[in-house]
Amino acid sequence: MPTALGSKIKALREEKKYTLEKLAELTGSSKSYIWELENKNPPRPSADKVSKIADQLGVTIEYLLDSEASITVEDAADARFYRKYQKMDSKTKEKIRSFVDLWDDDDS
């Protein structure tokens, strides 16, 4: 029986049009490991593998592990973006803020 984790991985994988093989390749996992995550209730999925899967699917680990569905895909994508943004140098951050300001001006 699939878990919330497995259902989310499968839905996001299919949304990105990744095969089991492709996601396995991108995350350094085996096809059978991805299949088991999607279709069974593994006792303890590897935190490292779940992190790599979340990264390739564009969400956070918290989203994948949230069994109560309190985090949306959009919230997870935003959180992932912000974490990446926090690691950027100040020059890159300034460019991004300038782009956002330009978009904001268009909406006025």
Given a contact cutoff of 8 angstroms between Cβ atoms, the answer to whether 1 and 41 are in contact is: yes
At 86-107, the pLDDT tens digits run 888 999 988 888 888 888 765 5
Beta-carbon contacts of residue 64 (< 8 Å; ≥ 6 apart): 5, 8, 9, 50, 53, 54, 57
Give the confidence band of 12 by pLDDT, cuts at 50, 70, 90: very high
Please report, rounded to a whole number, the percentage of residues in the chain having pLDDT higher than 90. Answer: 45
Distance CA 8, CA 11 (A): 5
